[in-house]
Amino acid sequence: MKKRQLGLGQTKLLFVKLLLTLFLLSVAWVLLYRWVAPPVTLHMMQRRAEAGAASKEDPAIDYRFVTLEEMSQQLPLAVVASEDQLFPQHYGFDFDAIYGAFKSNTKGKKIRGGSTISQQVAKNVFLWHGRSYFRKALEAYFTVLIEVLWGKERIMEVYLNIAEMGDGIFGVEAASQNYFNTAAKNVGRQQAALLAAVLPNPIRYSAKRPSGYVLKRRSRITRAMRQLGGTAYIKSILPADEEQK
């Protein structure tokens, strides 16, 4: 009996040590990306593998990381207006949106979902795409970590760099260069809204050849940008020197 208890105690100790190790590694990983641009994400690798399997070629991924200071302020405003209007205020989760998504899902309706920008960053940078409860639990865990260790400014900066905005095109700099032949810092309100308009499905929708649906979404987003009060609405998530411009 004593040997069995000893063995059980050792197993519990090993389990606790494993959990502690995983926790410390995850914190170190998140802290690293607080200052270092993610060289690649699991989603980028997944998209490259899918494209390669379909074409039997080695597809290129266009990904160019730039800082918030190197972007037009219209870009963070556009994605906030389109994707997550409570982003400056919430702590990673919009529980009203999550509850609304849950209710609609139980009725069998197709919806965009209730994920915040913070949750999307946690999923796209640190995890794989999927619908299991385990992945959702990890997503919530990493969402809390980046909210605590990164803050809104860094979350927005990373989101605008790793969001897929076309087939193999990731981030606002690559999208601006491909679609508008200009840098992200020169993008205007209409262009920023157009990029935000394709985010729900950047493979189906195109910013280069926008459909009528995409143009309608752009109009709704530009209207929301004005209703929020323009770039003053996102002042709290901009770098200090950007706020003064």
User: What is the overall mean pLDDT for the chain?
Assistant: 88
Q: 188 lies in a domain?
A: yes
Residues 53 and 9 placed together within one structural domain of the fold = no
Residues 13 and 65 placed together within one structural domain of the fold = no
Residues 12 and 68 placed together within one structural domain of the fold = no
Q: 53 lies in a domain?
A: yes
| Per-residue pLDDT at 109 exceeds 70 | no
At 151 the three-state DSSP class reads coil
| Per-residue pLDDT at 80 exceeds 80 | yes
| Per-residue pLDDT at 102 exceeds 60 | no
Residues 76 and 1 placed together within one structural domain of the fold = no
Q: 137 lies in a domain?
A: no
For 63-98, the DSSP string reads E----GGGS-THHHHHHHHHH-TTTTTSSS--HHHH
CA dist 204 and 202 (Å) reads: 6
Distances (CA, A) of 244 to 79, 87, 99, 143, 184: 21, 21, 38, 29, 19
Q: How confident is the model at residue 27 (pLDDT cuts 50, 70, 90)?
A: very high
Residue 108 neighbours by CB distance under 10 Å: 6
Residues 25 and 51 placed together within one structural domain of the fold = no
| CATH number of the domain encompassing residue 173 | 1.10.3810.10
Q: What is the pLDDT of residues 162-211, one digit of tens each?
A: 999 998 899 999 999 999 999 999 999 999 999 999 998 998 999 999 99
Report which of residues 228 and 15 the model is more confident about: 228
Give the residue numbers spanning the domain of 69. 39-91+150-243
Q: 200 lies in a domain?
A: yes
Q: 139 lies in a domain?
A: no
Half-sphere exposure for 3 (CA within 13 Å, toward CB): 0
Q: What is the pLDDT of residues 47-62, one digit of tens each?
A: 777 766 666 565 678 9
Residue 6: per-residue pLDDT: 57
Reported pTM = 0.88
Q: How many domains does the chain fold into?
A: 2
Q: 136 lies in a domain?
A: no
Report which of residues 4 and 177 the model is more confident about: 177
| Structure token pair of residue 119 | 């949750």
At 164 the three-state DSSP class reads strand
Residue 131: per-residue pLDDT: 80
Q: What is the mean pLDDT of residues 217-221?
A: 97
Residue 111: per-residue pLDDT: 52
Q: What is the pLDDT of residues 110-160, one digit of tens each?
A: 555 678 999 999 999 999 887 888 999 999 999 999 999 999 999 999 999
